[in-house]
Amino acid sequence: MDNWILKQAALSPQRIAVNDGQTKLTFSQLVGQLETLAGKLDRIGALNGNRVAIMTRNSLQGYLMALAALGSGQTIVWLNWRLADAEIKRQLQDSRPTLCLVDDQLWRPAFDSEFVKFSDVMGITVSKKPLRSEFDPEAVASIMYTSGTTGAPKGVMQTFGNHLASALASSLNLGVTPKDEWLCAVPIFHISGFSIMMRGLIYGMTVRLVAHFDPQTVDRILTHEPVSTISVVPYMLKKLLDLLEQQGNRYNANFRCMLLGGGPIDRQTLTRCQRAEIPVVQSYGMTETCSQIVALNYSDADSRIGSVGKPLFLTQIKLADDSGEILIKTPALTPGYLNRPDALADKKTADGWYRTGDIGHFDQDGFLFVDGRIDDMIISGGENVFPDEIESVYLARPDIDEIAVVGADDPEWGQTPVAFVVSDQPLNSQDLIEYGRQRLAHYKVPHRFIRITQLPMNAGGKVQDLS
């Protein structure tokens, strides 16, 4: 198929492709800028191989670097700038990009000659290089490393076809109009942000790029600019609600939808959304599926608290008979993990369903609820217990800052839940147990509460068990 960037420049040359608040580039101008950048990238040899790594904040320059590489036929290896040197090194050893392009502000002393600062690229004077005329749906557009809770990070390969299927399925659910403009304050090195970039190219839509999530800035943009859509995680939603409630303002007339990833919202937060007139669409997806594959529309939110919704048009979902694990089929599913030809097959059933690793259930009307990770599941006295549920109950207490529930071996019950809590206030175990018993089945209430000063996290923000 046609290179999406060139296609939009042909279809809608005057439409704004990207706007970072200072610079607006039409699709036509975008192509010009990318051709200039492609010439520079070519000069430094970045286009000699098949892959280019990029480490950037949500800056316009990083955005353009990525699209110049992509438009020139390169696979982008997205680097999370929050990772430690050693983690980055492992990802590069695995992906072996020709070069690694780095936002100047993220430069590190450890970076050697395979790393190139954006400013060094920009400093080159050279003639333009045309972009590749076509994108191959089977070709890998991007690689993102997921830090599973066990083992080394794996590079998820996302094809152009995967991104296309994801964007189209999303459009059938959220709708798509020529007036759409999507605010991107989530990182473009994550699928949450990169999928917005891809939708921009596929819909011919303006991406309103925001350097990082500052609630005041985003609130101001949503109020005064014609943004129709924003992707958020629960933390961002709550910060935005705080501001709306303090200020009593309303978002612009073109605002249509807040797409929420990273877990469903509670009744209280939904009520706040309703009061603030924010149509929030909850969703479920993963790096392996190029973002959302399940969504809960706003009109259903009130009656389905805790649900992530229904599988989108192109996605099929069923539950494993034995474990209740969520199994999926979707054209947005990755063709595999880089350099691990067996790793995806290992996560598929004999008849080709992808095992998500999440346990879930459907209600009688076909709404999906995600109960928790299969790896985190505690089996206590034959009952399945999910740490997520317990943690969210305790996090509602103002005296608990953080909590992690894990399973401890128990001679009588097999396992019992034990909680690690972070708090700067006095806590009483019996009081906490009593609190739990009023809100949870008894077998879900942690038998012990252990105070710690900090939760042990891996790079992906997940608690790591000693094992």
- Give the long-range contacts of residues 12-15, CB within 8 A, separation 24 or more: 12/204, 15/178, 15/204, 15/206
x-marked contacts with a copy of itself along 296-315 as a string, rule CB under 8 A:
--------------x--xx-
Residue 398 near a copy of itself by CB under 8 A: no
Between 26 and 56, name the residue whose CB sits nearer to a copy of itself. 26
Q: How far is the CB of 345 from a copy of itself (least distance, A)?
A: 21
Residue 366 binds a copy of itself (CB under 8 A): yes
Q: How far is the CB of 199 from a copy of itself (least distance, A)?
A: 11
Which parts of 315-354 interact with a copy of itself (CB under 8 A)?
316, 329, 331
Contact with a copy of itself (CB under 8 A) among 27, 118, 189, 203: 203
For residues 423 and 288, give the distance between their C-alpha atoms in angstroms, rounded to a whole number. Answer: 35
Q: Which stretch binds a copy of itself (CB under 8 A): 181-189, 202-210, 390-398, 406-414?
A: 202-210
Going by C-beta distance under 8 Å and a sequence separation of 6 or more, which residues neighbour residue 221? 21, 183, 208, 210, 227
Beta strands 291-296; 310-311: pairing state = antiparallel
Backbone angles phi, psi at 115, to 5 degrees: -100, 140
φ, ψ for residue 166, nearest 5 deg: -65, -45
Question: Phi first, then psi: what are they for 391, rounded to 5°?
Answer: -60, -40
What is the H or E stretch that residue 188 is in? none
Confirm or reject binding of residue 235 to a copy of itself (CB under 8 A): no
Q: Residues 316, 317, 318, 323: is their CA dihedral positive or negative?
A: positive
* 175 binds a copy of itself per the rule CB under 8 A: yes
According to the binding rule CB under 8 A, does residue 444 interact with a copy of itself?
A: no
CA distance 78 to 138: 19
Residue 366 Cβ vs a copy of itself, minimum distance, rounded to whole Å: 5
Which of residues 72, 170, 171, 228 is near a copy of itself by CB under 8 A?
171
* Least distance from a copy of itself to the Cβ atom of residue 404, Å: 36
Distances, alpha carbon 207 to alpha carbons 176, 295, 405, in Å: 14, 21, 39
Question: Residue from 110, 152, 172, 450 that binds a copy of itself (CB under 8 A)?
Answer: 172
Residue corresponding to tokens 């500052």: 214
Distance from C-alpha of 270 to C-alpha of 98, rounded to nearest angstrom: 47
| Binding mask of the shown chain, residues 5 to 34, with x at each position contacting a copy of itself by CB under 8 A | --x--xx-x---------------------
Smallest gap from Cβ 143 to a copy of itself, in A, equals 25
Q: Decide if residue 202 touches a copy of itself (CB under 8 A).
A: yes
282 binds a copy of itself (CB under 8 A): no
Strands 99-102 and 51-55: parallel
The binding site for a copy of itself (CB under 8 A) comprises: 1-2, 4, 7, 10-11, 13, 134, 168, 171-172, 175-178, 202-204, 310, 313-314, 316, 329, 331, 365-366
